[in-house]
Structure 1
Amino acid sequence: MRAIGRHLSVDMYGCNFDNLDNFELIKTAILAAIEEANMTLLNLSYHKFEPQGLTVLALLNHCHISIHTYPELGYAAVDIFSCGDYSRPDRALLVLKKVLKPEKTKTTNFVRGDFGSQKDMKPRIRISIAPLRRVRNTSAKVWSYLRKK
């Protein structure tokens, strides 16, 4: 079975302060990204924080784009979630990168709703038993030595 959607979670570092605090610029960028990615806008909502910062949410048909900006840090957190095969979240991301001009990005791709092809998304933790066994054996030797005295 195919996955329901793709989710890009992107950290953008080293962005220009003025770009991150400019709602009109980010709104224009999101609208261009929506068009480039073949998505359909249902509603656009935003909140301007004081003294700076924005949260912009584009509610789309079967998906969403959100941007949270921290101009004082030169940082933007971007989420692009897309359902179906017709939309291209990677193209939307390219448009947003072109406008925000980050020096560095970190992108995490999630496959959403894959119904079993992924067993578990938790990181695997391995514990080596050998060091524990060494500690137990050493303590047994110490106790044995102390009892003889």
Structure 2
Amino acid sequence: MKAIGKHLTIDMYGCTFDSLNNLDFIKTIMLAAVKEANMTLLDLSCHKFEPQGLTVLALLAESHMSIHTYPELGYAAVDVFTCGDHSRPDKAVSLLKSFLKPEKTKTTNIMRGDFGSQKDMKPRIKVSIAPLRRVRNTSAKVWSFLRNK
């Protein structure tokens, strides 16, 4: 079965306190990201926490996009989940990065609903433990031989 959705999770580190604590700014860039990614906005829900931080959730016809900010840490957690082929979640992420200007990001791409047909979230390099076991066994034999002499 083909995957039914793409889910991007983005950790953004080193963002400025002011940008992460400004609700109007975050709402504006979320709306711009929705438009840029060719997604359909159904509803936008926001909450500002005290003394700082906020959450903005965009309910989309394609699924959802959210941002949770931790201004005191310079950190933002972003989720973009879309179903179908006509939206471009990568463009939404690029726009958010360009406005928040993180020093460092970590992006995880999850193919939702693939039921194991794709190699999503699996290591790309297979590591075999056998060579390490041979080295360990060889060194044990050498030490045993040296002790007996």
TM-score tier after normalising by the smaller chain length? 0.7 to 0.9
TM-score (norm 2): 0.81
**Partner residue of 2:53?**
53
TM-score (norm 1): 0.81
Taking only aligned residues, the RMSD between alpha carbons, in angstroms, comes to 2.4
Measured at CA, do residues 121 and 89 of structure 1 come closer, stay the same or move farther in structure 2, by a change above 3 Å? Answer: closer
Letter of the structure 1 residue corresponding to residue 112 of structure 2: R
The one-character-per-residue Cα deviations of 1:61-85 (angstroms, maximum 9, x if unpaired) are 0211110100011110001011000
Aligned length: 145
Greater than 2 Å deviation, 4+ residue runs:
118-134
Aligned to 1:26, what secondary structure does the other structure show? helix
Gaps of 5+ in 1: 138-149
Deviation at 1:121, TM superposition (A): 4.7
**Partner residue of 2:101?**
101
**Partner residue of 2:6?**
6
Please list, as runs of the form range in 1=range in 2, the aligned pairs for 1:4-43 lying within 5 A after superposition: 4-43=4-43
Measured at CA, do residues 50 and 91 of structure 1 come closer, stay the same or move farther in structure 2, by a change above 3 Å? Answer: same
Gaps of 5+ in 2: 142-149
**Structure 2: distance between partners of 1:82 and 1:4:** 9
**Structure 1: distance between partners of 2:121 and 2:20:** 32
